[in-house]
């Protein structure tokens, strides 16, 4: 690791303070979170006496210090609501309950609480606290698009030269090189954890740009027409050579086009329900590997099915062990790692976020996190839908942006069924959507708005 890694990770604190002092808190939050996620190294600095300092901790501390030093935090007081309880429960109660139920110490509970707050709590809090005006959602959507554009040249570089940027700048590679070889070339990573994480991010940026173009909510982004921006990002997503990116982009584009044509969010609501149904069936072992394989085999090649089978086998082994402590899980120190019956050794790998949550914190952690992610999108999708036989609903301003962010969050939840690629951007989206949905139901001004194209374009 080069000196650049600690320099940038600690320098991010000063950069965030400068942002909060010189621009609006909404823009400061978006730049701090999006740019931090994309460009801070995927590294952990171990400093005696303090919790591990990684990019999530750097972003969280930057948001806290930026708000306090600038005085913006006091100007935007947060009023906790019922919908905040699941994440408060996960960040404060679950770490100590897990530690004590496993015979661990209060220090273990405190350490896990710090991890939960830095990974989830602060970014959710920033979304709830600062994104109080509906137009602030547009800032977040545009930030995601700009973040996608910022990765275009780095992605093209790594497609040609192999994933080397993290090694060049920070002195290490965040992923095994063999996992970057795909389809006769390379799968880019840039500064993220894995090529799968990059593909999901580019799919989210592509979807955001496409929806802004389709609805004529934005004509240009800087010097680029939004139409060219959307097409460029879609092409880059395809070039990322990850099946998950292709799938998520297809789902997102199909769902947005269906909504634009019909005014119905039915497909999006079914997507959310399908995610929770999968969690319920797989965590209780009511849905077997063979059934999932048979369904997926209709759409994917043998290599992708083999990768899926590996993940499903993990789910079965970890799920069976987690069901021995179903409420608060096994905690840390590898207590939840199962024995691989084919080798007799401890299973040393796990991919899915939901499996990690279930194994570590039981149903308490799993349910609270996925409810936190799903509450905002469900409220948005339920509010902006065409009633059977009725006219298009009257929607508050910037409903398009709320639907875009809800769809992105649903895609992240879908990805979390197979991968553990946490991004603070998606957690920020979750908090922002809860605030927006609460404002919409508490009498915020409304005006006609929808994902549908203008009549002249139909």
> Residue 396: which of 79, 130, 215, 133 has the closest Cα?
133
pLDDT value at 166 more than 60? yes
- Domain-by-domain residue ranges, the chain? 4-276+356-457
- Cα dihedral across residues 48, 51, 55, 58: positive or negative: negative
Split at pLDDT 50, 70, 90, the class of 389 is very low
pLDDT average, residue stretch 423-449:
76
Instruction: Answer with the residue of higher pLDDT: 190 or 301.
Output: 190
Q: Which of 179-188, 302-311, 317-326 has the highest mean pLDDT?
A: 317-326
Q: Mean pLDDT of all residues in the chain? A: 86
pLDDT value at 89 more than 70? yes
What is the secondary structure of 348-410 as a DSSP string? -----HHHHHHHHHHHHHHHHHHHHHHHHHHHHHHHS-PPTTSPPPP-BTTHHHHHHHHHHHH
Of the CA atoms within 13 Å of residue 237, those in its CB half-sphere come to 29
Contacts (Cβ under 8 Å, ≥6 apart) of 356: 350, 420
Specify whether the CB–CB gap between 262 and 270 falls below 8 A.
Answer: no
Tell me how far apart the alpha carbons of residues 268 and 252 are, in angstroms, rounded to a whole number: 9
Specify whether the CB–CB gap between 194 and 175 falls below 8 A.
Answer: yes
Q: How far is CA 357 from CA 95, 112, 312, 393, in A?
A: 11, 12, 16, 38
Count Cβ atoms within 10 A of the Cβ of residue 110 and give its class: 0-12 exposed, 13-18 middle, 19 or more buried.
middle
Split at pLDDT 50, 70, 90, the class of 456 is very low
- Cα dihedral across residues 373, 407, 316, 280: positive or negative: positive
Contacts (Cβ under 8 Å, ≥6 apart) of 221: 142, 145, 146, 149, 209, 229
pLDDT value at 287 more than 80? no
pLDDT average, residue stretch 188-195:
91
Q: How far is CA 363 from CA 96, 235, 280, 321, 327, in A?
A: 15, 39, 10, 13, 5
pLDDT average, residue stretch 293-305:
66
Least confident of 8-22, 150-164, 283-297, 354-368: 283-297
Specify whether the CB–CB gap between 408 and 202 falls below 8 A.
Answer: no
The predicted pLDDT at position 339 comes to: 81
pLDDT in tens, 100-111: 999 999 989 999
pLDDT value at 26 more than 90? yes
The predicted pLDDT at position 455 comes to: 35
Specify whether the CB–CB gap between 95 and 319 falls below 8 A.
Answer: no
The predicted pLDDT at position 386 comes to: 54
Tell me how long the chain is.
458
Specify whether the CB–CB gap between 163 and 180 falls below 8 A.
Answer: yes
Least confident of 42-56, 80-94, 146-160, 264-278: 42-56
Tell me how far apart the alpha carbons of residues 342 and 335 are, in angstroms, rounded to a whole number: 20
The predicted pLDDT at position 372 comes to: 95
pLDDT value at 182 more than 50? yes
The predicted pLDDT at position 442 comes to: 64
Contacts (Cβ under 8 Å, ≥6 apart) of 61: 13, 118
- pTM of the model as a whole: 0.89
Instruction: Answer with the residue of higher pLDDT: 227 or 346.
Output: 227
Tell me how far apart the alpha carbons of residues 236 and 195 are, in angstroms, rounded to a whole number: 13
pLDDT in tens, 29-79: 999 999 999 999 998 888 776 778 899 999 999 999 999 999 999 999 888
Q: Name the residue with tokens 């897990």.
A: 98
Least confident of 76-90, 279-293, 297-311: 297-311
Tell me how far apart the alpha carbons of residues 158 and 156 are, in angstroms, rounded to a whole number: 6
Split at pLDDT 50, 70, 90, the class of 87 is very high
pLDDT in tens, 260-283: 887 788 889 999 999 999 999 888
Q: At what angle do helices 4-22 and 55-70 cross, to 10 degrees?
A: 30
pLDDT average, residue stretch 300-313:
71
Tell me how far apart the alpha carbons of residues 367 and 143 are, in angstroms, rounded to a whole number: 29
pLDDT average, residue stretch 438-445:
63
Tell me if residue 301 falls in helix, strand or coil.
coil
The predicted pLDDT at position 352 comes to: 87
pLDDT value at 299 more than 70? no
The predicted pLDDT at position 36 comes to: 96
């Amino acid at each position: 690791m080069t000196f650049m890694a600690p320099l940038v990770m600690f320098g991010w604190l000063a950069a965030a303070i400068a942002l909060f002092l010189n621009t609006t808190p909404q823009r400061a939050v978006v730049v701090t979170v999006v740019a931090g996620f994309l460009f801070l190294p995927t590294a952990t600095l171990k400093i005696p006496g303090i919790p591990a300092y990684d990019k999530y901790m750097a972003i969280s501390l930057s948001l806290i210090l930026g708000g306090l030093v600038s005085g913006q935090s006091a100007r935007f007081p947060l009023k906790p609501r019922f919908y905040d309880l699941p994440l408060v429960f996960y960040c404060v109660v679950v770490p100590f309950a897990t530690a004590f139920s496993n015979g661990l110490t209060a220090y273990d509970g405190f350490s896990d609480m710090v991890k939960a707050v830095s990974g989830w709590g602060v970014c959710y809090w920033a979304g709830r606290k600062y994104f109080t005006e509906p137009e602030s959602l547009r800032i977040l959507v545009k930030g995601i698009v700009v973040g996608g554009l910022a990765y275009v040249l780095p992605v093209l570089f790594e497609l040609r030269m192999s994933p080397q940027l993290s090694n060049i700048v920070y002195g290490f590679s965040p992923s095994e090189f063999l996992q970057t070889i795909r389809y006769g070339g390379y799968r880019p990573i840039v500064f993220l954890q894995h090529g799968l994480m990059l593909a999901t991010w580019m799919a989210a940026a592509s979807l955001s740009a496409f929806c802004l173009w389709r609805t004529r909510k934005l004509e240009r982004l800087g010097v680029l027409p939004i139409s060219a921006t959307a097409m460029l990002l879609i092409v880059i997503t395809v070039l990322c050579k990850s099946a998950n990116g292709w799938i998520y982009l297809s789902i997102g584009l199909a769902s947005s086009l269906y909504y634009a044509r019909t005014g119905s969010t039915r497909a999006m609501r079914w997507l959310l329900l399908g995610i929770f149904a999968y969690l319920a069936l797989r965590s209780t072992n009511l849905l077997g590997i063979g059934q999932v394989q048979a369904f997926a085999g209709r759409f994917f090649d043998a290599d992708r099915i083999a990768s899926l089978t590996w993940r499903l086998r993990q789910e079965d082994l970890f799920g069976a062990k987690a069901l021995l402590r179903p409420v608060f899980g096994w905690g840390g120190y590898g207590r939840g790692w199962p024995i691989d019956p084919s080798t007799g050794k401890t299973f040393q790998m796990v991919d899915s976020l939901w499996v990690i949550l279930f194994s570590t914190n039981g149903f308490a952690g799993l349910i609270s996190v996925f409810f936190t992610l799903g509450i905002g999108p469900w409220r948005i999708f339920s509010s902006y839908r065409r009633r059977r036989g009725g006219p298009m609903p009257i929607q508050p301003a910037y409903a398009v942006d709320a639907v875009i962010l809800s769809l992105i969050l649903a895609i992240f939840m879908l990805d979390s069924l197979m991968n553990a690629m946490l991004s603070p951007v998606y957690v920020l989206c979750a908090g922002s959507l809860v605030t927006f949905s609460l404002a919409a139901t508490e009498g915020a001004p409304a005006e006609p708005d929808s994902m549908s194209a203008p009549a002249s374009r139909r």
